[in-house]
Amino acid sequence: MSSRVVTQHEGDLAIITPPVRLQSRFCGPTLGDLAAQIEAAERNGAVRRILIELGQGRGGSLADLLETDPAVAEDLGQLCDRVEACAKPVIARLSGRVRAGTGALALACHYRLATPDTQMDFPAARLGLVPAGGVTQRLPRLAGAEVALSLLQTGAAMSAEDLVAAGVVDGLLADVTRDAALAALADLGEVAPRPTRARRDGLADGVGFQAALRRARAAAATPRRPSAAAIADCVESAQLLPFEAGCARELTALQDAARTEAARALRHALQAERRAAQLPRAFRGEEGAQPTATRIGRVAIAAGGREVPALAFAILIAGIEVVLFEERQAPLEEALTATGDLLERLLKAGAIDAETRALCLHNLHVSLGVGDLGAAGLALVPEGYGVDEVTALLKALHAGLGEGAILALSDPAQLRAATAWLPAGAAACALQFSLPLETGELVEITPAPGCAPGVLQSVAALVARLARLPVFVDGSGLVVRLHRALTEAAGDLVAGGCAPDRLLGALHAWGLSPTGYAVLARGAVQGEGEELGDEEMVALVLAALANAGARAVEEGVAEAAAHVDAVAIHAFGFPRWRGGPMFQADQAGLLGLRKRLKARAERRGAAVWAISPLIEKCILNGEPLAGVERENA
């Protein structure tokens, strides 16, 4: 399969452009093709300079080369070494998002020019891994330990201007066009190869280098960043070891990190999020066809429902216009006043600044009825209306906004009845925002029967703009089910004799923050006769969560186990570095999970412990629970 690396020529300049996006399975061929193109340009007597276009702008991207597939790290390192050793000057043109393997290759080039929209980041630490391809050796040589550690230990992005200030990038381009790059190259004039490994700019202040390392190591002592200490060690190698030895240490550190449970959990969490955000199979359309999303710039919200101010803020803060509408004057005025009051409280609390408050108020509109909603791309009916009222509202909205607008409601239990009158393929869905509504991390999307793929893609894109994870579900949703399992399991443990504060302390120490379920557990009447250790209490709660997740997949609420883990992480604070309840079930072993559930069910009889048939099936087939996909979906 071709990796589609393209080489073009402008006079004595060879312009090499990798493909716009890669998947891990294409990495090997693409790396080899890039190396071959570099070598061909080096041999070509007519070529005096080489330009490599990198990033998600007009040029190309290697964004998926490294962190999601550590196995390619060694090949990537060899490519970077080959680029750096080129006898002709190699200049990187950076544009858009430059991350992971793209960034590694950029650092290996002799010169770097960036468009104003360039953002560079290395997300390995967020996946429990160590950046490779020589990143931990080249970046400190260019910019010093402070900049290198701030980028590599956190995975944070650095802007084009900051990259220039740090000495990582040599100059800013006027715009994103190739002509701007060609003009900058003309201004650069005759240049010679300049291997990054030979640079010492960032190593000049040895005392400051070590001070930055001490600060980084002190901040690295947290399970949330399991590879941070190893990254600091690798960065220190740039100061203490020869380049080749430092790269060898980097590769070993990556391989060691990739084997840890925390790194596996973090990579699983990323994969679970991507899977959960995919359109359900029944709504994906033709094989290979990518539905087109329509950008939604205005959302209408029925003002007579519950939690209207919080929902309005969640949308306004993303820079999207909101129209509150209601046939009755009093509820409309009440919702408008309450939204303004919420913005004022957030301003006084320091959650937003005056400029943000002013922008939100500027984008907030009202309409008496549905006659003045403008070009609203989505209309939302919150909870608080009866099904007949929802149906009437949706009919009025459909007539007023036309067939292009998406009709949404907050209660999925009302979806089928309230949209039964719509023609097949109509644009309708349910949207459940996780708590707290103002700042939650997730929105569950339940499609109406026959909803068009493009509609769902548009809704998912809107949710992503709200900085929330879109998760496609069917029915009552996963958040409610998992929360119920959590509270029922905790309540049964307390009723069986476990002290509430000790139980909640054990869960908190493990990483589950005692929020909503803490109130219920503390309110339960403590029984007698049972003393369980902290580890066993935590294991039982995790077993109950995995069991509830398995039932959700069985019953079609979730299309895959990945949805369960994504929701657990984003809806009620399951620690990301633990991977989710389904991942944890596999780590503990499904045989042990079944034994624990069975013993508890026999002892207590609570429904929360009744073993899901899906768990039995996974044991029988030797399949991991976290990778299960619902059959006949």
pLDDT tops 60 at residue 223: yes
- Say if CB 230 and CB 253 are below 8 A apart: yes
Residue 518: CB atoms within 10 Å:
18
- Say if CB 364 and CB 312 are below 8 A apart: yes
Q: Does one domain contain both 519 and 464? A: no
| Residue 437 binned pLDDT confidence (cut-offs 50, 70, 90) | confident
- Cα dihedral: 129, 132, 138, 143 (round 10): -30
**Whole-number pLDDT of residue 85:** 94
The answer to the question of residue 268 being in a domain is no
Closest to 58 in 3D by CA, of 168, 179, 160, 183:
179
More confident residue, 108 or 74: 108
- Kindly give the pairing relationship between strand 90-95 and strand 49-55: parallel
Number of structural domains (the chain) is 3
| Residue 59 binned pLDDT confidence (cut-offs 50, 70, 90) | very low
Four-residue CA torsion sign, 567, 568, 570, 576: negative
Q: Does one domain contain both 553 and 426? A: no
**Whole-number pLDDT of residue 395:** 92
Mind listing the pLDDT tens digit for each residue in 282-293? Answer: 787 666 566 788
Query: For the chain, what percent of residues have pLDDT higher than 90?
Result: 59
pLDDT tops 60 at residue 584: yes
Q: What is the value of pTM for the model shown? A: 0.82
| Residue 467 binned pLDDT confidence (cut-offs 50, 70, 90) | very high
Mind listing the pLDDT tens digit for each residue in 82-103? Answer: 999 999 999 999 998 888 888 9
The answer to the question of residue 286 being in a domain is no
**Whole-number pLDDT of residue 288:** 53
pLDDT tops 70 at residue 161: yes
- Cα distances (Å, whole numbers) of residue 456 to 275, 282, 470, 471: 15, 12, 10, 11
- Kindly give the pairing relationship between strand 119-121 and strand 158-159: antiparallel
Q: What is the CATH number of the domain that holds 379?
A: 3.40.50.720
As given in the structure block, the two tokens for residue 579 are: 């991977």
The answer to the question of residue 282 being in a domain is no
The answer to the question of residue 520 being in a domain is yes
Q: Does one domain contain both 483 and 428? A: no
Q: Which domain holds residue 229?
A: 6-259
For 357, list phi and psi in degrees, rounded to 5.
Answer: -60, -45
The answer to the question of residue 281 being in a domain is no
Domain boundary among 427, 447, 472: 472
| Residue 632 binned pLDDT confidence (cut-offs 50, 70, 90) | very low
**Whole-number pLDDT of residue 580:** 95
**Whole-number pLDDT of residue 119:** 92
Using DSSP, state whether 88 is helix, strand or coil: coil
Mind listing the pLDDT tens digit for each residue in 491-535? Answer: 889 888 888 888 888 998 898 875 555 555 556 666 676 778 999
Residues 6+ apart with CB under 8 A from 604: 492, 495, 496
Q: Where are the alpha helices (DSSP H) in 524-576?
A: 534-554, 561-571
Closest to 202 in 3D by CA, of 238, 234, 172:
238
**Whole-number pLDDT of residue 375:** 86
Q: Does one domain contain both 382 and 485? A: no
**Whole-number pLDDT of residue 27:** 61
Closest to 257 in 3D by CA, of 281, 299, 228:
228
Q: Where are the alpha helices (DSSP H) in 289-414?
A: 308-316, 329-348, 354-362, 387-401
Say if residue 436 is preceded by a cis peptide, omega within 30 of 0: yes
Mind listing the pLDDT tens digit for each residue in 255-266? Answer: 898 888 888 899
| Residue 64 binned pLDDT confidence (cut-offs 50, 70, 90) | very low
First and final C-alpha spacing in the chain: 30
Per-residue DSSP letter, 47: -
The mean per-residue pLDDT over the stretch 597-608 comes to 90
Query: CA 103, CA 136: separation in Å to the nearest integer?
Result: 11
- Say if CB 338 and CB 364 are below 8 A apart: no
The mean per-residue pLDDT over the stretch 595-604 comes to 92
**Whole-number pLDDT of residue 290:** 67
The answer to the question of residue 289 being in a domain is no
For 15, list phi and psi in degrees, rounded to 5.
Answer: -110, 115
Task: Flag the least confident range among 21-25, 159-163, 369-373, 440-444.
Answer: 21-25
- Cα distances (Å, whole numbers) of residue 229 to 246, 431, 466, 524: 15, 41, 33, 42
The answer to the question of residue 47 being in a domain is yes
Domain boundary among 206, 239, 259: 259
Q: Does one domain contain both 172 and 321? A: no
Within 13 A of 620's CA, how many CA atoms are on the CB side?
6
Closest to 483 in 3D by CA, of 425, 576, 564:
564
The mean per-residue pLDDT over the stretch 569-585 comes to 92
Residues 6+ apart with CB under 8 A from 318: 465, 466, 467
As given in the structure block, the two tokens for residue 68 are: 């999601």
- Say if CB 140 and CB 118 are below 8 A apart: no
The answer to the question of residue 134 being in a domain is yes
Query: For the chain, what percent of residues have pLDDT higher than 70?
Result: 91
